[in-house]
Structure 1
Amino acid sequence: MATRGALRRTYTWIASHTPWSAWAWRNTTFSAAAIPPALPLVLGCVLAVAGPGHSPVPLLLVALFCPLLTALQRSRFRSLLDLDIPPVVREHRWTTVRGLTERLRSESTWRQYGYHLVVSPLAATGAALLVLLWAGSAAAASVYAWAWMLPVEEMLAVPGLHYQYDGITVLGGLLLIAAPWAAATLTRLDAVAAAALLGPNRARELQRRVEDLAESRAGVLDAADLERRRIERDLHDGAQQRLVSLAMNLGIARATLPGLPPEAKAVIDEAHREAKEAIEELNNLVRGLHPAVLEDRGLDAALSGIAARAPLPVELAVDIAERPGPTIEAVAYFVVSEALANVAKHARADRCSVRIGRVAGARGDLLRVVVTDDGVGGADPAGGTGLVGLRKRVGSVDGTIMINSPVGGPTIVTVELPCGL
């Protein structure tokens, strides 16, 4: 069955690449269609060189009608080859002075001139040779079909003419087999040149798309940061205040109602304890979202609170002459908070240090965060220790993170964040 399938695929491939296949005639038709657009260019060059006075007017007319020729070539590629070459987007119409100036200064205009003045004549020449190849090979392969029209006297005067006809027929058959591949080669070369010269500059388009994506991503990050701040304010001003009020009322009830049964006192004590635990958990949640002190007083004050609440001594040094953007501050706060949490949970360290400062980088100023502990080391991002989330948060702002944690310690986490965001 496998052999039969391979034979079927081989037969299908051969049938689709024969001289009478649709593939061969599509490429031939496409190549032949390159001749009419090139005629004005060839005629203009001939008149400019061999005409009276060697006037450059014909070439100027060709340059004036370059947009029309470009539209014709795009139509040829789209209708005959299903290849869509996008047009170059212009800010102004060509009928205005600014539009003409924009086109003359644009490198895409000169690339189009290069296609029309160089590639188009070459493609037309190749197409003419291709048509001659088809005609000559067809005539040679069918020599026995039309040789009878030659005068009998001339045929008898040439010795061995029969054997010559055999060679001509074989040569014509070989050229017929080669003609579709010649047409395919011309089509491929023309398509590559047109995509590079008639359309927009791919490198600049890619650069523009990267800039647009970077701008949109910055907008998404800012929106997410604003949403975290809104949630923090709502929790702080709403749910947290109600829990504080509830805890106060329960405390007052416990102190002012001494005659309650022991069961009721136990319920009030339990509710008061759970309310205080809920307030503490909500405080931690609010600080994890976006602490208000970070927005009001910056990284130094916000990280001082984290260092004070850490279960081990933390040496904090923040040297920032100018505050970075709010998004970068939020990421740096998250990095230090998560790193200290990892140290407390996994490192078994006696002390830790956090150093933050601005340094110059190839892409501008960077905010460098270095967290060092004297723990057991061996931190592995694949081990589920929170380093994966740390790497994702840093990568969301095009930052870099390096983790040096040999077994036995110490562990050094270095994060660099672009201050431009």
Structure 2
Amino acid sequence: MLGSMSTTGILRRWWRATRFLVVEGAAGFVSLALLPVGVLMAVFIVIGPGWLIAPRAVQMLRWWAALARTRTGRFLGGSVSQSYPVIPADPTFTDARRLLTASSTRRDAWWVLLHALLTPIAGVLAVGLPLAVVNSLLVPAYWSTMPPGEPVTNPFPVTSWWTAAAMPVVGALYAALALWLVPAMAHGVAGLTRRLLAPAREAELAARVSALTESRAAALDAHAAELRRIERDLHDGAQNRLVGVVMMLGLAERSLTTNPDQALPQLARAQEAAADALAGLRTVVHDIYPPILDELGLDGALSALAGRCAVPCVLDADGLARVPAAVESAAYFVVAEALTNVVKHSGAARVEVTVRTAAEGAGQILTIEVVDDGDGGARERDGGGLAGIRRRARAFEGTMTLDSPVGGPTTLRVELPCG
């Protein structure tokens, strides 16, 4: 009973390893075909024009490596981690150079090279050994039909019944070799893939430090930009209105001594100007942290934004949970800026806003997606609204992606980690 269960387990392990190696062997031939493509790509990059398609090539390399991670993780019974720098929507030459020289790109390239050289051989052995077993068992039945000058060789020439009778023993040896070697090769290939494609601990820590440094710089940039905006709003708005109030009060004071009948209308105008200045100050304070977030939460605040939007707006916030106040504030301003861009530039007749929170590791991630049916062709410009959205996202180690083909639709997606 125990022997039967053990044999069944060995056969299942062998069959599972065989399937893995056959798939990896087939994929290895694809990797082998990618090698000359990579060489041509390197030549074009050295010449110059290749950097234009370098980000797309890196993205395809990541996709191919991600498939290998999935296959390897399924075989080993766990996931193979990955860590990549973000590919910008409109990468510059500097971005392309950074992507090509990144440690993750070098790691993926080494994996493709070794995958192309090793896995086809492993796949052929995984198929060839069982076929050798079958052939060894069949040799006694057909060796005599072969021409005298072309005897069966498996692994030695079979020229007599005595040598043919030894073939089942050879088949048993092939079977034992297959039962041991195929699982060993499968685990070796899987282990090599995991070692090459999973970032090293030092690399993960370095990437984490780099991400924290970038997010800190982005937070400082966002803070500085916010201070400049507040200063500009105070200077151009409330300050000018308050100067007008002071001037009107001065005129009213002078009128009280020279022409009292004009003093009352001047005081009324000063009161209206003071009310406008107070409204401006309230707007500035509101833009620092909208009180509506405390009153109604993020979903209620976004509903108010959608209701005030000049373009018909549909809000889907069913999958939204409470997140930290700083993240709520950032999400509110992201949606506000996105809707402002839609109204000003898109020519859209409809816009949809979807906000979700989902678990990611030990924390949560807030996802915002804004889709409009406008003219498309949106581009990120320095100092523009989209650049401000990206700056806010980076301050939280988040990401922003923009898909806006000419003719539309335009899809803006922002992901904000919540802790």
By the TM > 0.5 criterion, same fold? no
TM-score between the two structures when normalised by the length of structure 2? 0.38
Larger radius of gyration between Structure 1 and Structure 2: 1
Query: Highest relative contact order (Cα 8 Å, sep 6+), 1 or 2?
Result: 2
TM-score between the two structures when normalised by the length of structure 1? 0.38
